[in-house]
Structure 1
Amino acid sequence: MSDPFDLSKLREPSEFERPRARPPRHRPWEKFLKGPVPWRWIEAAARLPGQALAVGLVAWYEAGCRKCAAVPLNLSRLVVPRRTAHRGLCALERAGLVSVDRRKGRPPVVTLLPAPAGPSAGAPERARTRNG
């Protein structure tokens, strides 16, 4: 038989137990990714090899900061090695997610493009299973 005066039932849930009504937000001085970013675009970039998605998200970040679809992309500022970032950018270009204007001695200008319709962007889509 349970005690009707159990004080543990009356305590307020801790911060970790309390469900959040909204996702966490950035602080005023912190960087953030401006959206909306089309989910189809993210799915297509996620199917690509290596760091293509990371490079693509940096392009979306720069586009949000500059409020422009065509942005210079400084690959040396990425956390990944420069050659890895370059391969990711090439993968995005081959998949039709970005167009790249390369200029000697200057950062490439990346233009974000709409994701191609269907699962043909990047690697073939995996067969659907019951659990996912």
Structure 2
Amino acid sequence: MQSPDSISENASNSEKAALGSLEPADNGSLSDQGYEKLRLTLECFELRLQAATQPPADLNEVLADLRVAVTGLAEGSGLEQSLQVEIYKQLRLLETDWAFLRMARQPATFAQRRSTMQERLKLLQSYCAHGQTLAAGEGAIAPD
């Protein structure tokens, strides 16, 4: 069984490799790549959070990466802009959840806070998938 640190390191390395492979091909795919980068960063955050038995200090860096990824999304249609506002709102709530997680002293409270964060990460990932669909011009499909 891998230690939480090795899981975190493996997640970080795979995230860097995946993010490094994203190069803009044309203007139409910039938004799609922005959502993909955000999705990969969310997955990295989720992997680190799953392995944690106490608040990992490096999640502050991942939150900063998430903020950068959200601000890097290309301007889109009205639907995309609405989705980006919702993504930004959920990211701010995730930051609040992170503050509560760091304050948790009891294992049960920590587990509950971590579960709340994991649910929010899943929601953000579904928003990214929806954003990629919108960016690809495949129409409006409501996220789960």
Q: By the TM > 0.5 criterion, same fold?
A: no
Q: Which has the higher helix share?
A: 2
TM-score by length of 1: 0.33
| TM-score (structure 2 length as normaliser) | 0.31
Larger radius of gyration: 1
Q: Which has the higher strand share?
A: 1
Higher relative contact order (CA 8 A, sep 6+): 2
